[in-house]
């Protein structure tokens, strides 16, 4: 006989409080649980990355009628108010609870492996968009410098479309130490070499400037730029890096 | 002797109310004034597009000390609370008041002129990001289908980085009528032809699907797709179109 799913109705329930802590960076760091939401991303993650998750949260049993859950993922029913508190994007669709993987610390004295992106993007939506493009265009490692948003923040997950699960995410040092990283080092910059004429090495560290600030002047990276008409002063930062990643992907594949 | 600038202190002032109406799409449409904010975009617009503007709003005379205003742009001082009400992005930097240009209606029976982008993006920030990439990569005309956000909405201006002033913006029909538009017609779609192998015609209509919905199945446009690793199910919509525009720009220049 199948057990009926656990039902949680109290906002004081310790499990619920644990999941609630996944809604901000501090709780994510402290408790190591994250919440995945999304009509496309939740079924895809269940299919492709079941080992990352341990609970499926829902409020109305009709939401999961006909779902086959992999072993190791337990369904948990929440009172409507509790579910809504966790479903911050308002998907009204089951949520997955996962375990935040340990992010190893990179040793930047070692040479890069494949295309490594180094960034300190503090806005979780911007970081998520970057991770999505990184996964789409074959940047296998993303190094999160001090000050970067948490990669499992709900807004980052929402923007990344499950990119977290196919990338290797690493923790990096503070910004100032990047200058001493082993190369080749490149950075995007409006005044740099046209990247369509760049001969992309197989292994490379691509450094992304901070939002609105760019790359420190003393950073010894080769500056690359996306060619444009010049009709706007600069590209959106996510667009610029996505175009660079695409250009490399199209050139080397 | 130079006149001291006008000072407005009452939220009931008709001029102030006119400018306040520029903060949403309805007021923009009714009164035809827009507000440009931004530490980079305001000085750039003053320099490059002075004829688009009629007032410079500030609250502290120190904000405009040393500024040389072109004739036709009158400085107006606002009480701090009034200024803050208009400075919705919190730039604490002078704001320009401009006149929304008339957006001509396009006749889609006529063939395209250059690269025309057709879209109905309802989110003003997404539309602004698109306009920025359109201007950067040489899409000279953008056709706003029924349901598109107002291109002079503050959020759209903020994301577009003055792209509005170098593009030709046109009003288009409702979505259903696009199927009958004169071609060549293309659309971005995950399952289409690899766009790096596409021979871009000089004149082309590129149709962008609605957010999260894509292109209607009966739309007779050639489907183009951005090649990816396949590690994420799809690209961010702004990233996808920006990459497509870049690929065309890099191929034809």
Does residue A166 lie in a domain region?
yes
For A105, phi then psi, to 5°, come to -90, 130
Asked whether the beta carbons of residue A239 and residue B242 sit closer than 8 angstroms, the reply is yes
Does residue B108 lie in a domain region?
no
- Overall average pLDDT of the A212-221 stretch: 82
Based on its alpha-carbon atoms, the radius of gyration of chain B, rounded to whole angstroms, reads 20
Helix axes A237-252, B237-252, angle to 10 degrees: 60
Is some CB atom of chain B closer than 8 A to the CB atom of A48?
no
pLDDT tens digit sequence for B194-238: 999 999 999 999 999 776 677 888 889 999 999 999 999 889 889
Element (H, E) at B37: none
Predicted pLDDT of residue A1: 41
pLDDT tens digit sequence for A154-177: 999 999 999 999 999 999 998 888
CATH assignment of the domain containing A155: 3.40.1280.10
Mutant choice from A41, A157, A243 vs B, greatest count of B C-beta within 10 A: A243
Q: Are A221 and A209 in contact (CB under 8 A)?
A: no
CATH assignment of the domain containing B92: 3.30.1330.30
Same domain, A73 and A140: no
Confidence of residue B183 (pLDDT cuts 50, 70, 90): confident
Same domain, B30 and B84: yes
Q: Per-residue pLDDT for B4 more than 80?
A: no
Q: Among B72, B99, B126, give the residue marking a domain's end.
A: B99
Q: Among A99, A134, A155, give the residue marking a domain's end.
A: A99
Cβ atoms within 10 Å of B171's Cβ, excluding its own: 15
Same domain, B180 and B119: yes
Predicted pLDDT of residue A22: 96
Which residues in chain B are contacts of A155 at CB distance < 8 A? none
Does residue A110 lie in a domain region?
no
Is some CB atom of chain A closer than 8 A to the CB atom of B163?
yes
> Residue A166 is part of which domain span?
115-252
- Is the CA virtual torsion A229, A235, A239, A243 positive or negative? positive
Total number of domains constituting chain A = 2
The residue of chain A nearest to residue B166, with distances taken between CA atoms, is A231
Predicted pLDDT of residue B191: 83
Exposed/middle/buried for residue A138 (C-beta within 10 Å: 0-12, 13-18, 19+): middle
Helix axes A237-252, B124-136, angle to 10 degrees: 50
Helix (H/G/I), strand (E/B), else coil: A152: coil
Q: What is the 3-state secondary structure (H, E, C) of A54-108?
A: EEEEECCHHHHCCCCCCCCCEEEEECHHHHHHHCCCCCCCCEEEEECCCCCECCC
What is the complex's ipTM, to 2 decimals? 0.91
- Overall average pLDDT of the B172-192 stretch: 90
Q: Among B99, B128, B159, give the residue marking a domain's end.
A: B99
Asked whether the beta carbons of residue A236 and residue B163 sit closer than 8 angstroms, the reply is no
Same domain, A63 and A171: no
Highest mean pLDDT of the ranges A180-184, B149-153, B249-253:
B149-153
CA pair distance B28, A162, nearest whole angstrom: 38
Is some CB atom of chain A closer than 8 A to the CB atom of B129?
yes
List B residues 53-112 in contact with A (Cβ-Cβ < 8 A): none
Does residue A105 lie in a domain region?
no
Confidence of residue B1 (pLDDT cuts 50, 70, 90): very low
User: B82 is written with which tokens?
Assistant: 């009034």
Which residues in chain B are contacts of A250 at CB distance < 8 A? 196, 227, 247
């Amino acid at each position: 006989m199948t057990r009926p799913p656990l039902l949680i109705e109290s906002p004081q329930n310790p499990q619920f409080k644990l999941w609630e802590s996944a809604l901000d960076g501090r709780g994510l760091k402290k408790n190591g649980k994250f919440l995945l939401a999304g009509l496309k991303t939740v079924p895809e993650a269940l299919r492709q990355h079941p080992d990352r998750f341990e609970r499926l949260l829902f409020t109305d049993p009709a939401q999961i009628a006909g779902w086959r859950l992999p072993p190791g993922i337990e369904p948990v029913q929440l009172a409507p108010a509790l579910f809504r508190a966790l479903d911050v994007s308002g998907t009204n669709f089951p949520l997955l609870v996962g375990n935040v993987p340990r992010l190893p610390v990179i040793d930047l004295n070692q040479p890069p492996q494949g295309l490594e992106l180094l960034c300190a993007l503090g806005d979780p939506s911007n970081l998520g968009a970057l991770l999505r493009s990184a996964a789409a265009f074959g940047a296998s490692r993303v190094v999160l410098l001090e000050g970067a948003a948490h990669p499992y923040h709900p807004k980052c997950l929402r923007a990344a479309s499950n990119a977290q699960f196919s990338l290797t995410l690493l923790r990096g040092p503070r910004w100032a130490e990047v200058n001493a990283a082993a190369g080749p080092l490149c950075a995007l910059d409006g005044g740099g070499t046209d990247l369509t004429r760049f001969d992309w090495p197989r292994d490379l560290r691509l450094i992304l400037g901070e939002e609105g600030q760019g790359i420190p002047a003393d950073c010894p990276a080769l500056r690359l730029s996306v060619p444009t008409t010049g009709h706007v002063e600069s590209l959106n930062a996510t667009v610029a890096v996505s175009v660079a990643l695409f250009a490399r992907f199209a050139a080397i594949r």
